[in-house]
Amino acid sequence: MEIGFYLMITIIFTGLILLAAFDIYRKSEIKLADIQLQRDKLALEHKQLEKLTQD
């Protein structure tokens, strides 16, 4: 009976660790996409400014 209890606790604990790792990975992917979007936005604004100054 004790082995089953410890096995259940181990499975739950491992699941929580995997869930936390997945959440951290997902948040880092979202942050990376946001940074790339901001970089692209700045590049577009820079191109538009260059085009305006050339005219």
pLDDT 10s digits, 1-55: 788 999 999 999 999 999 999 999 999 999 999 999 999 999 999 999 988 888 6
Give the pLDDT score at 54. Answer: 83
**Rounded to 5 degrees, what angle do the CA atoms 12, 21, 9 make?**
10
**What sign does the CA torsion over 31, 36, 38, 39 have?**
positive
Give the pLDDT score at 55. Answer: 67
- Give me the numbers of helices (H) and strands (E) for the chain, helices first please: 1, 0
Model-level pTM greater than 0.95?
no
Tokens for 35? Answer: 């940074």
User: Cα(51)–Cα(55) distance, rounded to whole angstroms?
Assistant: 7
Give the pLDDT score at 11. Answer: 97
Tokens for 30? Answer: 């979202």
